[in-house]
Amino acid sequence: MGQTPMLDKKHKCFIPCQLFFLFICLNRAPFTIANDQFVYFGFAQANLSLDGAATITPDGLLELTNGTFNLKGHALYPTPLHFRMSPSGYAQSFSISFVFSILSAYPDKSADGMTFFVTRNKNFSSALPAQYLGLLNNQNNGKASNHIFAVELDTNENSEFQDINGNHVGINMNSLHSVQSHDASFFDDKTGMFKNLSLISREMMQVWVECDGGATKVDVTLAPIKMAKPARPLLSTIYDLSTVFTDTTYIGFSSATGVIN
Ligand SMILES: *[C@@H]1O[C@H](CO)[C@@H](O)[C@H](O)[C@H]1NC(C)=O
Ligand SMILES: *[C@@H]1O[C@H](CO)[C@@H](O)[C@H](O)[C@H]1NC(C)=O
Ligand SMILES: *[C@@H]1O[C@H](CO)[C@@H](O)[C@H](O)[C@H]1NC(C)=O
Ligand SMILES: *[C@@H]1O[C@H](CO)[C@@H](O)[C@H](O)[C@H]1NC(C)=O
Protein backbone atom coordinates (compact mmCIF):
# COMPACT_ATOMS: atom_id res chain seq x y z
CA MET A 1 0.00 0.00 0.00
CA GLY A 2 1.68 3.19 -1.15
CA GLN A 3 -0.95 5.45 0.35
CA THR A 4 -1.26 6.25 4.01
CA PRO A 5 -4.94 5.91 4.81
CA MET A 6 -6.35 9.40 5.19
CA LEU A 7 -8.65 10.05 8.03
CA ASP A 8 -11.62 12.29 8.03
CA LYS A 9 -10.30 15.63 9.27
CA LYS A 10 -12.79 15.74 12.09
CA HIS A 11 -11.36 12.53 13.45
CA LYS A 12 -7.77 13.60 12.99
CA CYS A 13 -7.01 13.32 16.61
CA PHE A 14 -5.69 10.28 18.27
CA ILE A 15 -3.93 9.45 21.41
CA PRO A 16 -4.73 5.96 22.40
CA CYS A 17 -2.81 6.09 25.57
CA GLN A 18 -1.83 2.97 27.36
CA LEU A 19 -0.32 2.60 30.74
CA PHE A 20 1.46 -0.63 31.16
CA PHE A 21 2.04 -1.04 34.83
CA LEU A 22 2.27 0.91 37.94
CA PHE A 23 4.12 0.77 41.20
CA ILE A 24 2.90 2.95 43.95
CA CYS A 25 4.69 3.31 47.18
CA LEU A 26 3.47 5.71 49.79
CA ASN A 27 6.19 6.26 52.31
CA ARG A 28 4.39 7.21 55.42
CA ALA A 29 5.87 9.35 58.11
CA PRO A 30 7.55 7.25 60.82
CA PHE A 31 4.91 7.76 63.48
CA THR A 32 2.11 6.17 61.54
CA ILE A 33 1.51 2.48 61.87
CA ALA A 34 1.28 0.99 58.45
CA ASN A 35 2.96 1.37 55.09
CA ASP A 36 0.73 1.53 52.07
CA GLN A 37 2.40 -0.05 49.16
CA PHE A 38 0.86 -1.26 45.96
CA VAL A 39 2.75 -2.94 43.23
CA TYR A 40 0.87 -3.75 40.09
CA PHE A 41 2.33 -5.55 37.15
CA GLY A 42 -0.62 -5.22 34.87
CA PHE A 43 -3.96 -3.93 35.99
CA ALA A 44 -6.15 -7.00 35.67
CA GLN A 45 -6.28 -7.51 39.45
CA ALA A 46 -6.05 -3.88 40.42
CA ASN A 47 -9.77 -3.21 40.73
CA LEU A 48 -9.39 0.36 39.57
CA SER A 49 -12.46 2.55 39.14
CA LEU A 50 -12.66 3.40 35.46
CA ASP A 51 -14.74 5.98 33.67
CA GLY A 52 -15.08 7.51 30.23
CA ALA A 53 -13.09 5.64 27.60
CA ALA A 54 -10.81 3.87 30.11
CA THR A 55 -10.67 0.09 29.89
CA ILE A 56 -8.45 -2.76 30.97
CA THR A 57 -7.33 -4.65 27.88
CA PRO A 58 -7.50 -8.48 27.84
CA ASP A 59 -3.76 -8.58 28.49
CA GLY A 60 -4.10 -6.45 31.57
CA LEU A 61 -3.03 -3.04 30.28
CA LEU A 62 -4.83 0.08 31.28
CA GLU A 63 -5.98 1.94 28.19
CA LEU A 64 -7.17 5.41 29.06
CA THR A 65 -8.39 6.63 25.70
CA ASN A 66 -8.69 5.21 22.23
CA GLY A 67 -8.64 6.59 18.70
CA THR A 68 -11.92 8.51 18.91
CA PHE A 69 -11.80 12.27 19.24
CA ASN A 70 -12.83 14.39 22.23
CA LEU A 71 -12.71 11.53 24.69
CA LYS A 72 -11.68 11.52 28.29
CA GLY A 73 -10.82 8.56 30.44
CA HIS A 74 -9.93 8.10 34.11
CA ALA A 75 -8.66 5.31 36.28
CA LEU A 76 -8.69 5.82 40.04
CA TYR A 77 -7.49 3.71 42.89
CA PRO A 78 -10.85 3.11 44.58
CA THR A 79 -9.74 3.47 48.20
CA PRO A 80 -9.11 6.95 49.54
CA LEU A 81 -5.56 7.60 50.72
CA HIS A 82 -4.33 9.94 53.36
CA PHE A 83 -1.80 12.30 51.88
CA ARG A 84 -2.08 14.75 54.70
CA MET A 85 -1.37 14.05 58.32
CA SER A 86 -3.94 14.92 60.91
CA PRO A 87 -3.84 16.88 63.07
CA SER A 88 -0.53 18.43 62.02
CA GLY A 89 -1.77 19.14 58.51
CA TYR A 90 1.58 18.21 56.94
CA ALA A 91 1.48 16.61 53.55
CA GLN A 92 3.14 13.23 53.76
CA SER A 93 5.98 11.86 51.71
CA PHE A 94 5.16 9.59 48.85
CA SER A 95 6.67 8.21 45.74
CA ILE A 96 5.01 6.70 42.74
CA SER A 97 6.37 5.24 39.58
CA PHE A 98 4.57 4.16 36.44
CA VAL A 99 5.33 3.14 32.91
CA PHE A 100 3.35 4.48 29.97
CA SER A 101 3.33 4.56 26.22
CA ILE A 102 1.44 6.95 23.98
CA LEU A 103 0.31 5.28 20.78
CA SER A 104 -0.85 7.89 18.33
CA ALA A 105 -2.33 7.17 14.92
CA TYR A 106 0.12 9.69 13.47
CA PRO A 107 3.88 9.31 13.46
CA ASP A 108 4.55 12.95 14.32
CA LYS A 109 1.53 14.34 16.17
CA SER A 110 -0.86 13.47 18.92
CA ALA A 111 -3.27 15.27 21.19
CA ASP A 112 -3.61 15.90 24.04
CA GLY A 113 -1.83 13.94 26.73
CA MET A 114 -2.27 12.34 30.11
CA THR A 115 -1.79 13.02 33.78
CA PHE A 116 -1.10 11.29 37.05
CA PHE A 117 -3.08 13.08 39.73
CA VAL A 118 -3.87 13.28 43.42
CA THR A 119 -7.31 14.76 43.97
CA ARG A 120 -9.96 15.43 46.57
CA ASN A 121 -12.87 14.90 44.22
CA LYS A 122 -13.17 11.73 42.21
CA ASN A 123 -16.11 12.92 40.15
CA PHE A 124 -14.72 14.08 36.81
CA SER A 125 -18.06 14.34 35.02
CA SER A 126 -17.62 18.08 34.45
CA ALA A 127 -13.97 17.87 33.36
CA LEU A 128 -13.35 18.59 29.69
CA PRO A 129 -11.39 16.58 27.14
CA ALA A 130 -8.74 17.95 24.73
CA GLN A 131 -6.43 20.51 26.33
CA TYR A 132 -8.18 20.13 29.72
CA LEU A 133 -6.75 16.60 29.84
CA GLY A 134 -9.92 15.26 31.45
CA LEU A 135 -8.83 16.99 34.65
CA LEU A 136 -10.46 20.41 34.85
CA ASN A 137 -12.75 22.69 32.86
CA ASN A 138 -12.85 26.33 31.82
CA GLN A 139 -14.74 27.31 34.98
CA ASN A 140 -12.58 25.66 37.63
CA ASN A 141 -9.14 25.84 36.03
CA GLY A 142 -6.72 27.51 38.44
CA LYS A 143 -8.99 27.50 41.48
CA ALA A 144 -7.52 26.51 44.83
CA SER A 145 -10.79 24.73 45.62
CA ASN A 146 -9.89 22.02 43.06
CA HIS A 147 -7.35 20.42 45.42
CA ILE A 148 -5.66 18.68 42.51
CA PHE A 149 -1.98 17.98 42.16
CA ALA A 150 -1.03 16.56 38.75
CA VAL A 151 1.93 15.64 36.66
CA GLU A 152 1.10 16.19 33.00
CA LEU A 153 2.62 14.45 30.00
CA ASP A 154 1.47 16.99 27.48
CA THR A 155 1.67 16.36 23.75
CA ASN A 156 0.04 19.54 22.51
CA GLU A 157 1.02 23.20 22.87
CA ASN A 158 -1.77 25.29 24.35
CA SER A 159 -0.95 28.97 24.54
CA GLU A 160 -3.82 29.67 26.94
CA PHE A 161 -1.96 27.57 29.55
CA GLN A 162 1.45 29.03 28.57
CA ASP A 163 2.65 25.60 27.45
CA ILE A 164 6.31 25.67 26.46
CA ASN A 165 5.80 23.31 23.49
CA GLY A 166 3.92 20.21 22.40
CA ASN A 167 6.20 17.71 24.14
CA HIS A 168 6.64 18.51 27.78
CA VAL A 169 6.26 17.31 31.34
CA GLY A 170 4.72 19.65 33.89
CA ILE A 171 3.91 19.88 37.58
CA ASN A 172 0.42 21.28 38.02
CA MET A 173 -1.33 22.57 41.13
CA ASN A 174 -5.08 23.08 40.63
CA SER A 175 -4.42 24.34 37.13
CA LEU A 176 -3.43 23.35 33.62
CA HIS A 177 -0.91 26.15 33.70
CA SER A 178 2.07 24.28 35.10
CA VAL A 179 3.99 25.52 38.13
CA GLN A 180 7.06 24.15 36.38
CA SER A 181 7.56 22.35 33.09
CA HIS A 182 10.38 21.08 30.93
CA ASP A 183 10.87 19.54 27.49
CA ALA A 184 10.32 15.80 27.80
CA SER A 185 13.87 14.61 28.48
CA PHE A 186 15.98 12.63 30.89
CA PHE A 187 19.24 13.26 32.69
CA ASP A 188 21.99 11.12 31.22
CA ASP A 189 24.24 10.18 34.15
CA LYS A 190 27.14 9.43 31.79
CA THR A 191 27.31 12.79 30.04
CA GLY A 192 25.76 14.92 32.75
CA MET A 193 23.35 16.40 30.20
CA PHE A 194 19.63 16.19 29.60
CA LYS A 195 18.64 14.27 26.48
CA ASN A 196 15.36 14.86 24.69
CA LEU A 197 12.65 12.24 24.48
CA SER A 198 9.54 12.30 22.35
CA LEU A 199 6.42 11.46 24.32
CA ILE A 200 4.74 10.25 21.12
CA SER A 201 7.61 8.02 20.02
CA ARG A 202 5.52 4.97 20.96
CA GLU A 203 8.34 3.94 23.28
CA MET A 204 7.64 2.89 26.83
CA MET A 205 8.90 5.38 29.38
CA GLN A 206 8.95 5.47 33.14
CA VAL A 207 7.97 8.35 35.38
CA TRP A 208 8.85 8.81 39.04
CA VAL A 209 6.98 11.34 41.17
CA GLU A 210 8.47 11.90 44.60
CA CYS A 211 7.46 14.19 47.39
CA ASP A 212 9.78 14.52 50.35
CA GLY A 213 9.12 14.50 54.08
CA GLY A 214 6.86 17.38 54.97
CA ALA A 215 6.08 17.31 51.25
CA THR A 216 7.29 20.74 50.30
CA LYS A 217 9.46 19.47 47.47
CA VAL A 218 8.23 17.65 44.39
CA ASP A 219 10.60 15.87 42.01
CA VAL A 220 9.54 14.38 38.68
CA THR A 221 11.89 12.18 36.71
CA LEU A 222 11.43 10.69 33.25
CA ALA A 223 13.51 8.00 31.56
CA PRO A 224 13.29 5.45 28.78
CA ILE A 225 12.17 2.04 30.02
CA LYS A 226 14.98 -0.27 31.12
CA MET A 227 17.01 2.64 32.39
CA ALA A 228 17.70 3.04 36.09
CA LYS A 229 16.29 6.19 37.59
CA PRO A 230 18.55 9.08 36.50
CA ALA A 231 20.57 10.84 39.19
CA ARG A 232 18.81 14.14 38.55
CA PRO A 233 15.10 14.75 38.21
CA LEU A 234 13.66 16.53 35.20
CA LEU A 235 11.55 18.81 37.38
CA SER A 236 12.06 19.82 40.97
CA THR A 237 9.94 22.40 42.67
CA ILE A 238 9.35 23.67 46.16
CA TYR A 239 5.64 23.77 46.89
CA ASP A 240 3.72 23.24 50.07
CA LEU A 241 1.46 20.35 49.12
CA SER A 242 -0.44 20.60 52.40
CA THR A 243 -2.29 23.51 50.76
CA VAL A 244 -3.38 21.22 47.91
CA PHE A 245 -4.03 17.92 49.64
CA THR A 246 -7.06 17.36 51.75
CA ASP A 247 -7.34 14.72 54.47
CA THR A 248 -8.90 12.26 52.05
CA THR A 249 -7.46 12.01 48.57
CA TYR A 250 -7.68 9.75 45.56
CA ILE A 251 -4.93 8.96 43.11
CA GLY A 252 -5.38 8.13 39.48
CA PHE A 253 -4.68 8.81 35.85
CA SER A 254 -6.52 10.83 33.24
CA SER A 255 -6.14 11.18 29.52
CA ALA A 256 -8.00 13.09 26.86
CA THR A 257 -8.13 13.27 23.11
CA GLY A 258 -8.79 16.41 21.15
CA VAL A 259 -8.29 17.83 17.74
CA ILE A 260 -4.87 18.23 16.21
CA ASN A 261 -4.39 21.64 14.66
C1 LIG B 1 -13.32 -3.29 44.09
O2 LIG B 1 -13.72 -1.92 44.24
C3 LIG B 1 -15.07 -1.75 44.58
C4 LIG B 1 -15.34 -0.24 44.64
O5 LIG B 1 -14.95 0.38 43.45
C6 LIG B 1 -15.37 -2.42 45.91
O7 LIG B 1 -16.75 -2.32 46.19
C8 LIG B 1 -14.95 -3.89 45.83
O9 LIG B 1 -15.11 -4.49 47.11
C10 LIG B 1 -13.51 -4.02 45.40
N11 LIG B 1 -13.17 -5.44 45.23
C12 LIG B 1 -12.01 -5.93 45.64
C13 LIG B 1 -11.80 -7.37 45.35
O14 LIG B 1 -11.18 -5.26 46.23
C1 LIG C 1 -13.51 4.49 22.10
O2 LIG C 1 -14.22 4.55 23.32
C3 LIG C 1 -15.50 5.15 23.20
C4 LIG C 1 -16.06 5.34 24.59
O5 LIG C 1 -15.88 4.21 25.36
C6 LIG C 1 -16.36 4.28 22.29
O7 LIG C 1 -17.64 4.86 22.13
C8 LIG C 1 -15.68 4.16 20.93
O9 LIG C 1 -16.40 3.26 20.11
C10 LIG C 1 -14.26 3.66 21.07
N11 LIG C 1 -13.60 3.79 19.79
C12 LIG C 1 -12.77 2.86 19.33
C13 LIG C 1 -12.14 3.18 18.00
O14 LIG C 1 -12.55 1.81 19.94
C1 LIG D 1 -20.85 14.22 39.60
O2 LIG D 1 -21.00 15.63 39.43
C3 LIG D 1 -22.11 15.99 38.62
C4 LIG D 1 -22.11 17.51 38.49
O5 LIG D 1 -20.86 17.95 38.03
C6 LIG D 1 -23.40 15.51 39.24
O7 LIG D 1 -24.48 15.82 38.39
C8 LIG D 1 -23.34 14.00 39.46
O9 LIG D 1 -24.45 13.58 40.17
C10 LIG D 1 -22.08 13.64 40.27
N11 LIG D 1 -21.98 12.20 40.34
C12 LIG D 1 -21.78 11.56 41.48
C13 LIG D 1 -21.68 10.07 41.41
O14 LIG D 1 -21.66 12.15 42.53
C1 LIG E 1 15.37 19.44 22.99
O2 LIG E 1 14.11 19.87 22.57
C3 LIG E 1 13.90 21.27 22.71
C4 LIG E 1 12.46 21.57 22.36
O5 LIG E 1 12.10 21.01 21.13
C6 LIG E 1 14.89 22.02 21.84
O7 LIG E 1 14.73 23.42 22.02
C8 LIG E 1 16.30 21.62 22.24
O9 LIG E 1 17.23 22.23 21.38
C10 LIG E 1 16.47 20.11 22.18
N11 LIG E 1 17.76 19.77 22.75
C12 LIG E 1 18.62 18.96 22.14
C13 LIG E 1 19.88 18.68 22.86
O14 LIG E 1 18.37 18.46 21.04
- CATH number assigned to the domain comprising residue 191: 2.60.120.200
Whether residue 110 has pLDDT greater than 60: yes
Q: What percent of the chain is helix, strand and coil (3-state, nearest 5)?
A: 5, 40, 55
Ligand 2: which atom is nearest the Cα of residue 66? Answer: 1
Confirm whether 3 is domain-assigned: no
Residue whose C-alpha is closest to residue 213's, from 23, 27, 25, 24 = 27
Confirm whether 169 is domain-assigned: yes
Confirm whether 5 is domain-assigned: no
Confirm whether 158 is domain-assigned: yes
Ligand 1 centroid–CA 8 distance in Å is 40
Q: pLDDT tens digits for 32-87?
A: 323 455 556 667 777 889 999 998 888 778 888 887 888 899 999 888 888 877 67
Per-residue pLDDT, averaged over 93-98, amounts to: 85
Grouping H, G, I as helix, E, B as strand and the rest as coil, residue 160 is helix
Confirm whether 6 is domain-assigned: no
Domain hosting residue 55, numbered range: 11-256
For residue 188 and ligand 4, the question of a CB distance below 6 A is answered with no
Whether residue 166 has pLDDT greater than 50: yes
Confirm whether 179 is domain-assigned: yes
Q: Which ligand is nearest to the CA of 186?
A: 4
Number of domains in the chain: 1
Whether residue 1 has pLDDT greater than 70: no
| DSSP line for 204-218 | -EEEEEEE-TTS-EE
Question: 195 and 223 in contact (C-beta within 8 Å)?
Answer: no
Q: Report the nearest-CA residue for atom 11 of ligand 4.
A: 196
Confirm whether 245 is domain-assigned: yes
Confirm whether 261 is domain-assigned: no
Reported pTM: 0.88
For residue 191 and ligand 4, the question of a CB distance below 6 A is answered with no
